[in-house]
Amino acid sequence: MTTNEDRIRSYFAACSSGSSSEVASHFTEDAVIYDTNHPPIMSAEAIGDFWAQICDKWEGARWIVERVVSSGETAAIEWRMDGINNGQDFQIRGSEHYQFEGSHIAEIRQYWTFDSEDPGGGLIDYPYMQQDRLGSNDIV
């Protein structure tokens, strides 16, 4: 990896594959993910195991980096997850803030909303489709 953005994009590709060891390889041993929907996940191994469970739950789901802003040892992104629930396509969107140690992720703070009864979400009335047509979204 040469940049924080490269590491984040590689991490998202690993999240979509469901390989716990590949996901874990992007983190420091004592990394932590804080989230608005569940308790913190602590350690690279626990993060890898968590993502393997998520991929099993949301078979065929893809995580996509839409925007990255990076400076020094920090980065912020907007992302989306494309999936299917009860035969219906849905998208969930969120934002994350990263702290790096060297070339590995040491911390992620995730901000998003999830409703298992009605998955999907994003900014209210934001023109996502217009942004997609303009080509401003970067897909992993």
pLDDT at 11: 96
Tell me if 140 is assigned to some domain: no
Q: What is the pLDDT of residues 85-124, one digit of tens each?
A: 778 888 889 999 999 999 999 999 999 887 666 566 666 6
3-class SS at 72?
coil
pTM: 0.83
Domain of 27, in residue numbers: 4-134
Q: Is residue 88 part of a domain?
A: yes
CA distances from 74 to 5, 96, 123 (A): 10, 11, 24
CATH number assigned to the domain comprising residue 122:
3.10.450.50
Is 139 domain-assigned?
A: no
Is residue 49 in some structural domain? Answer: yes
Report pLDDT digits (tens) over 33-59.
Answer: 999 889 999 999 999 999 988 887 777
Q: Note whether residue 55 is domain-resident.
A: yes
- Total structural domains in the chain? 1
